[in-house]
Structure 1
């Protein structure tokens, strides 16, 4: 499995196990976000520590997760962006739209308040 999930007290953490988040991996991530949303999981942290590359289909999957959480009154957080992925997010101006933190530990602090 390319992504695993871990239910925390106030959110679900999705950990990417892939080196590249591209057209071959993004459908699985989109399906996971849809399943979580259907199960009323509307607070999600996507941890991309292990992902060194992302393309437009990967960004699309991330945006779907963000929209599903937002539409259901929850919060979507990206954590652990590697330099190349972070650069793509910034070039795409998505750092203005997404909640981005350095680590999953920082992400958990966002759900404490």
Structure 2
């Protein structure tokens, strides 16, 4: 699976540079997500701009990311703009549980705002 990684202090962007997430590359995506989580990535943004098709294995990999970051971090999908991908997400009702943001810039802004709110709430508790 081809991908690029853009690491920042509080988030990492994983951009899939392939047209599909399917049974051939989904296991590697799951492995990479587990690796990044175990490495301490606080928030993960999955950039799906190149993705035109996702099968059930791909959905499973995406859900793995959601499960890994649901306790304390954020797992955000962005650029899931291809019609077939949007349809699959809606049909499977994943749009109800996943954080899906239209663009990468908006996804980064979302992560930054959520982190600011988290930091502010922890300061109030002190």
Q: TM-score band, normalised by the shorter chain?
A: over 0.9
Distance 2:63 2:86 in 1: 14
Q: Could you tell me the TM-score, scaled by structure 1's length?
A: 0.95
SS of the residue 1:77 aligns to: strand
Q: Could you tell me the TM-score, scaled by structure 2's length?
A: 0.85
Q: Unmatched 5+ residue regions in structure 1? A: none
Between the two structures, name the one with larger relative contact order (CA 8 Å, sep ≥ 6): 1
| Alignment map for 1:92-107 (pairs within 5 Å) | 92-107=92-107
Partner of 1:13: 13
1:74 aligns with 2:73: yes
Q: Unmatched 5+ residue regions in structure 2? A: 114-126
The structural deviation recorded for 1:2 is: 1.5
Is the helix fraction higher in 1 or 2? 2
Q: Which has the larger radius of gyration?
A: 2
SS of the residue 2:23 aligns to: coil
Spell out, residue by residue over 1:23-71, the C-alpha distance to the aligned partner (whole angstroms, 9 max, x if none).
Answer: 0010111010010011111300000000100000000000000110113
Partner of 2:26: 26
Greater than 4 Å deviation, 4+ residue runs: none
Distance 1:64 1:6 in 2: 20
